[in-house]
Amino acid sequence: MFNFINYIGKRGRLIDGSVITTKWFCLFIPLFPLASFRFWTDGAETNILYQRKLFVKSLSVEIPLDWINIAFIYSVYLFLFAFASYILKNNTLVLIFSVAFIGVYSLHVFLKYWEKKLFEIDKSETYQCSKCKAKFNILKLNIVHGYFQCPKCKTLNLL
């Protein structure tokens, strides 16, 4: 965490091997998110939290900020702060960080539940790959983010 910019978090793994991560401005802890990306890691396994070197070399598409990932990362650090406050026997900080943790983690759970409908296949329209001209249906999530990867030739297509 001695770099000011880090990719933190990993979620939303799809069949094509891609994952979502968020780029953060950090000063020992993540302070605020800068952008979210979907990365194709070519089968390389990523760490749960910090994966700067792997993602710098990977194919990526910038997507809107991933609030599910952001809420999860904030909730992890709020939990760690609450635990550290408990160890240091500061009851006021334990209460503050615990309430903040419960609120942010509840937001994370709500957003994750709401997102389930985005992982459905959109059967109302057929999309065509620009390279191999294959036709298929894609996830509603890909329509929201404005891209899809062809399952046949693995080409990245923008909508």
Q: Whole-angstrom Cα distance, residue 94 to residue 7?
A: 28
Phi then psi dihedrals of residue 113, to 5 deg: -65, -40
Note down the domain range covering 137: 120-158
Domain match, 60 and 2 both? yes
Q: State the pTM of this model.
A: 0.71
Specify whether 107 is located in the same domain as 81: yes
Q: Are residues 52 and 86 in the same domain?
A: no
Structure tokens at 24: 């953060």
Number of domains in the chain: 3
Print pLDDT tens along the chain (159 aa): 566 888 888 887 776 777 888 889 988 888 999 998 888 766 555 555 555 555 556 677 888 888 999 999 999 999 999 999 999 999 999 999 999 999 999 999 898 888 777 667 777 888 888 888 888 887 777 777 777 777 777 778 777
Q: What angle do CA 45, 51, 56 make, to 5 degrees?
A: 100
Q: Does residue 80 sit in the same domain as residue 138?
A: no
3-state secondary structure 55-77: HHCCEEEEECCCHHHHHHHHHHH
